[in-house]
Amino acid sequence: MSTSQQYMEKGDKNFLHTYNRYPVVFERGEGMYLYDTDGNKYLDAAAGIAVFALGYGNKEYNDALKNQIDKIIHTSNLYYNVPSVEAAEKLNKVSGMDRVFFTNSGTEAIEGAIKSALKYAYTKKPASDYEIIAMEHSFHGRSMGALSVTGNAHYREAFGPGIGNIKFAKYNDLESVKALVNEKTCAVIMETVQGEGGIYPGKKEFIEGVRKLCDEKDILLILDEVQCGMGRTGSMFAFQQYGIKPDIMATAKALGCGVPVGAFLMTERVAEKSLVPGDHGSTYGGNPLATAAVLEVLNQYEKLGIVEHVKNLTPYLEEKLEKLASEVPCIKETRGAGFMRAIELDRPVGDTVDKAREAGLIVITAGANILRLVPPLIMEKEHIDEMCDILKKVLS
């Protein structure tokens, strides 16, 4: 029995079975590549689900975490700590937002965003029946609040009734949003680029239209940039390409590049009428280790020109994927933004994911017939070529 098989058997015996894990045990990474416990090498086009933006083995990032461990790991939010203060200042600057609350995950960031919107409405006029408009086919997380605004009934049906007063509009359909607005509507929540729902970027007229509608009705716009943010689409946050700004935004995944950390941010206008001491908290959120990771990630983005790199290389990636689609009949469509791409097939993709892994490429899905490409943002042309060569081989 191989080393990998031994670990998989041990894991299956001890883990709660909430994941159908692929049969591979990763041991280490280097740059764009992962290595399993049997010594096999894989080009990574998944980045731990859009997390490991800097690739594997970034020395300055690793050193920053090691140095922080030697200083202090945790203090709680009863006190200030240096990394959290510096990370908050830098994150507000690159996002254009004003206030930040650090969480442990993207799901927690969504929870905080929902609470912030409800408290804002309550502060203006106390009531317990405010409504939130979310989007069909959206995905915001699996905790009760985040699940309640996730637009896939299958995820929700065993865990009802949820937080209630949630209505679902059609993504990229402004009229469907307008039709749901009433005097009880306090927020609209949506992904700037839908991820789990199939990699669908928001159309410019839709994003602008929702922003205008929210301004007219004093409704808060919450943008979920957990997956599409942090440079993945060619700007630090995807909304920055639309010339608008949300009232509240959630981010995570690449924010810590592997260290569990997320954040929700808001404008000063919202902060003035929203959460106050006692309304929200997190024992671990914003601890020195997590925010040292955030700070160094932001420093590395600046030093390595990550956002510009994604923006500059996107046309090459698009060109190669379009060429692949023209050569492989089973590809129905390729779409996406920046380094967040979908390859839609005319058949289920489970077998393709397995064959790609066997050929040395890690890809994931975004639906039954959609391959999702969310590689580390350090990907170069030669990696794109290698990825497309393997995909052509397995899809043919």
Residue 3 pLDDT: 86
Coil, helix or strand at residue 52: coil
Whichever domain contains 9, its CATH number is 3.90.1150.10
* Structural domain contains residue 63: no
pLDDT, residue 1, reads 77
Q: Which helix (H) or strand (E) holds 337?
A: strand 331-337
> Does residue 211 share a domain with residue 166?
yes
Which one of 275, 304, 333 terminates a domain? 304
What is the rounded average pLDDT for all residues in the chain? Answer: 97
Residue 113 sits in the same domain as residue 176: yes
Predicted pLDDT of residue 35 = 98
53 with 190, same domain: the answer is no
> In this structure, is residue 207 part of a structural domain?
yes
Q: What are the pLDDT digits (tens) for 332-364? A: 999 999 999 999 999 999 999 999 999 999 999
**Same-domain status, 186 and 311:** no
pLDDT digits (tens, 9 = 90+) for 208-250: 999 999 999 999 999 999 999 999 999 999 999 999 999 999 9
Residue 66 lies in a domain: no
H runs (alpha helix) in the chain? 3-14, 47-50, 59-71, 82-95, 106-124, 144-148, 153-156, 174-178, 204-217, 268-271, 288-304, 306-327, 350-358, 381-395
CA 103, CA 158: separation in Å to the nearest integer? Answer: 26
183-193 per-position pLDDT tens digit: 999 999 999 99
Residue indicated by tokens 């670990």 = 7
Specify whether 167 is located in the same domain as 41: no
Number of folded domains that form the chain: 2
172 is a domain residue: yes
Q: Check whether the bond before 348 is cis (ω within 30° of 0).
A: no
Could you tell me if 117 and 188 are in contact, meaning their C-beta atoms sit under 8 angstroms apart? Answer: no
167 in any annotated domain: yes
Same domain? 332 vs 275: no
Domain that holds residue 284: 72-304
pLDDT at 311: 98
Q: Residue 2 has what pLDDT?
A: 85
Nearest alpha-carbon partner for 334 in 308, 351, 314, 310: 314
By DSSP bridging, strand 185-191 and strand 220-224 are parallel
List the chain residues with pLDDT less than 70.
Answer: none
